[in-house]
Each structure stands twice: as C-alpha cells, then as structure tokens.
Amino acid sequence: KNYPGRRLDVILQHYPQNMTNYWPYLRLRNNEVLLRRQAYKRSFLGRYTDSMLYDPLHEHLWGSPDDEKQVEIALRFVLTRMWFSVSIGAYGHDSSAWTKSTVKNVREVVKDEIWQVDVQHSSITEAFYVLEATCEVIGHPPSSEQNQMAAGHPLRADWTAYISERLLSHSHLSADPGPCSLLGYVKWSNSKDYHQGISKAWLHRVSDCNAEGITKRGVAEKYILASVVANGISGRWMSTGAMAQEFACSPGNDTFSSRTTAQLVNMYLPAHHHVESIHFTTSKGEDLHLAVAVVQTPAREYYIMRENGMQVGCEEEGVAGVWQQILRCDSIGRAL
C-alpha cells in the first residue's frame, strides 16, 4: 500500500482487493502527487522555501492520505507562518525559525472551519488548532489530544466551547446549531450596508458572476477573518466593546474580563476593514499576479494574498518591496 489512509480505506471497502485491479488507482494517486509537487515548485511559496533549502511537508502529506484538502491546508499554514515572519518579524532575530520545523500531519476538526496541524521540530511534535480560511493559530488542542506532543498554552474557553458545540451540531443535527460559519461571530459597525463586514451591494453584484464571483467572495471572507482585532482569534479574551475601545485608544473598564459566565467566540472588525469590493485586475483592467488581489475598503485599497487574505501592500505605497521580490510582481501587483 503506497498511500495508506482514510481515502484508500474507503476504496478498499467498496472494491474487494481479490476482484479489483488497483493499478489504475495507484497511477491516479501517483499522478496526483506529481501534479501537486509541480504546482508547488512553480509557485512563489515553492521558490521561496527552495531558496531557504526548506522542505515544509512530510513526504506522506503530498498524497493527502485522509482528506483531499490536506495539502492545501498544510501549505496555507506554511504560507501564513512565512507571512508572520516576513511582514511582522514574528520570530524575532531568527527570521528563519519557521523553517526549522516540518508539517507532519493535518486533520479536520470542525468541517470547513478548524483544523489541527501537527508540526515536528527535531524529535518534538507540537499541535495547533488553526482557522481553515487563514491558517492563523487559535491555540493548542486539549492535552488529552496531544498525547506525546509538546504541551502548549491551552485552547481558550470560548474556542473550546465553540468546537464542542460545532461537533455536537454536526453529529446530532441540533435544531439550533447557531451561525452557519465563523463569519457569524464577526461584529461590525454598519449592518445596514454590510453583511458580515462585506458590502451588500457588492455581494449582490458578484452573485451573478458564477465561478469568479464565488472565488472573489471567498477571498473577501478570508480578508475579513485576517483583519479582525487579534484578540478575537487568540490571546486574552475581550468583549466587542473592549476591542473597539482599545482599537480606538479610548479608555474602558471592560478590557480585562474576570467574569465567570460563558464567553463566546467574539471577533471585531474595525470599520476601515469593511469590504467594498475585491478585484483581480488593476484599475486599468490589467491582470494582477495570480497570488494577489486588491480589496477596496471605505478608506483605501489594500493588496492582499488570495490564499489567506493577509495584507502585502496598500494604495499609497503599493505592494511592499519585500513582497515584490518574493512574489515577482511590480508595485501595483502585476506579475513580472
């Protein structure tokens, strides 16, 4: 068995081994891995990791043994780690620290929303829970699920409750499962003109654009989750009011919460990150780099990565110089 895992198990359950020729299936899986590796090598992420002599995934992951989305999530996680290193210096003086560990495994925890990513560094394996849309870390799994893995900061109570409720609603088809996605927990200031932080008028326009409209809406949703105040994702839990006050540098008495009542997942989107529209071309109609999109907000335009919604430039300064080099694009996002 070259590709052990859930995907192969499902095939074996439906087609008896003693009555089935599995060579076509083996060729299919081999070709799948080949195409994924080739696409990765051609991408800016592949070029960048190659330049650092870094192989980000364990070999078996290229075959997506348990879920066809495993490679997609694993590489998005690597990309987000790279973004934090390049854009905000998240690893301090050692900017290459993120390349010293390898993604060992990924598995879906909450369908289409939250995944567990296992990362190996030397003989130590550390597990993270991440959002599917951005692969930003929300915390570590409960210690009972980490087994022999390195212990980390426990998952925040609101995320623990959210995951438990989601799993319960999926398994028991609860009559009141709550919002259909994490975007339902985003708070924004103008509900008249925006839905979950995205312009209602623009959503209506792109609803008629078929595949491109669906893709643009997906990028908009990633940008929303990438732009909420950081405490909505990880760190100390804060109420919407406290996050708004802190973001506006206003004094408030709700910043530190010691309440014992249940705290819900709560993400606050500042008004200047409301999405007016998403574009894959420049103002002159020229195609942007395939990894780049432009988001129009009420105040300005931002250049973002389509894959995780994170910012790589702004209207006034264009795409940041370091990202121009990595992506191989010019200051207005066109591929070179």
The model's confidence at residue 258, banded by pLDDT at 50, 70 and 90, is: very low
Q: Which residues contact 70 (CB under 8 A, 6 or more apart)?
A: 61, 64, 106, 107
Structure tokens at 295: 């988001």
Which of 69-83, 93-107, 289-303 shows the lowest mean pLDDT across its residues?
A: 93-107
Q: How far apart are CA 259 and CA 240, in angstroms?
A: 15
Q: How far apart are CA 176 and CA 199, in angstroms?
A: 27
Structure tokens at 23: 């060579």
Q: For the chain, what is the mean pLDDT? A: 89
The predicted pLDDT at position 260 comes to 44
Which pLDDT belongs to residue 255? Answer: 47
pLDDT at 264 over 50: yes
Q: Tell me the pLDDT tens digit for each residue of 158-193.
A: 999 999 998 888 766 554 445 458 999 999 988 999
| Cα separation, 140 vs 129, whole angstroms | 6
**Quick check: 93 pLDDT over 70?**
no
The C-alpha atoms of residue 128 and residue 115 are separated, in whole angstroms, by: 8
Judge contact between 3 and 63, C-beta under 8 A: yes
The alpha carbons of the chain give a radius of gyration, in whole angstroms, of 21
Which helix or strand (DSSP H or E) is residue 38 part of?
helix 23-42
pLDDT of residue 251: 63
Asked if residues 302 and 314 have their Cβ atoms less than 8 Å apart, the reply is yes
Q: How do strand 124-131 and strand 137-139 relate by DSSP bridges?
A: antiparallel
Residue tagged 């609803």 (tokens)? 207
pLDDT, one tens digit per residue, over 197-232 is: 999 999 999 987 788 999 999 999 999 999 999 999
Of 134-148, 192-206, 310-324, give the lowest mean pLDDT range: 134-148
Lowest mean pLDDT among 35-49, 93-107, 167-181, 241-255: 167-181
Distance CA 197, CA 269 (A): 7
Give residue 223's pLDDT.
Answer: 98
Position 97 pLDDT exceeds 90? no
Residues constituting the chain: 336
Q: What's at 297, amino acid-wise? A: T
- What pLDDT score was predicted for residue 248? 78
Q: What are the residues whose beta carbons fall under 8 Å from the beta carbon of 286, sequence distance 6 or more? A: 334
Question: How many CB atoms are located within 10 Å of the residue 153 CB?
Answer: 10
Task: Give the span between the Cα atoms of 224 and 197, in whole angstroms.
Answer: 7
Residue tagged 């799994």 (tokens)? 141
Over residues 17-27, mean pLDDT: 89
Model pLDDT, residue 92: 64
**Which pLDDT belongs to residue 247?**
78
Q: What are phi and psi of 174, to 5 degrees?
A: -50, 140
Which pLDDT band, with edges at 50, 70 and 90, does 120 fall under? very high
Which pLDDT belongs to residue 20? 87
